[in-house]
Chains A and B, each alone.
Chain A
């Protein structure tokens, strides 16, 4: 893959932002240098810092030697996937000790591997979204693929899978495919999941494994024919992350579907009855959304994707306030996830797509308080 240009200036960043009296404080260091806390990663997709200061990292893996066969949706062309249990949940203790605590399915596709996605912490246990699945594959769903899992002293336990609902109901009326991705704990004690392929928001009961459909995200007008929609000029929503504010309102980041034009990404609010309304629009490739230590919503823009393809080092960390969006960091190399630790420490997963071993997690000490 032609990723050499994407590796340029991996850690060259510029702090942009204004400080005013009525805005949450951002550190005023003019040029903040990040500290690398993990490197050599394969497609880091999620980060979380727990109450004990442990950093959790989701690694997509490198596929493997096993093969899956199937047919492409709509064309019935034979295809072969490779996969292996090379996706990792990595634990980094405050003293720097790094441990692979779980190995999970990693399925290789042309632009990279799909493995572990995002994390949530609930009742002292770590939960993660893993992989995806689709119609046409010749075998039954792999264990732990298209699933929410719990990792604890007992090992990895599959709590729920998102394929059953998608295969049964296909709520967005698109191809039958699921990719549980965004994950957070709700004020109701449940796990909330965005399915990036099925374009849905799901609520998962961690005790029973019941998966409840909470919202479906509609297509939006597009600029090229969408083969998944019969050639209609439409683009998929692609929900990448879910977050709650202090009042219990749920917000979802929508990446904005291929060809990912700048300004086509947005944050929506989902009401109790599943009604979806715009909260912030005009954003670009929002890959993650979290609630910061100040109660505001923070997200990462993956890259500026244009008619020439992805623009190197064009990712950003943004804060989404009512009626305004602030850029805190710019020039980032494909940031895929953000998490906050104590004292405003801001962690970012940087993920040069398709380049094994080139992913990193960095921290900006005290960036957001």
Chain B
């Protein structure tokens, strides 16, 4: 391959590096059918990786209509959910299996 072509490829690869940067990660714990923390602050316009740790022995379903997310998390297991990029605002979520207590919201700034 001609050297100029190789140089161009390398320049493109370096330019693409920021896109490969990992999404910011947040921890969410489910304990006693409650979310800790119940308010998650995330940067707006960025994809966010949420690690949900269900510390209850029973399963929970993390769900949000505004975020369009829904995932069943078996008891004593951990899982990952990606949200965003989000416009600034508030996005409530809840635990569908214990909907009266497990409630929280994501605030994007």
State whether these chains interact.
no
Interface residues of A (CB under 8 A from B): none
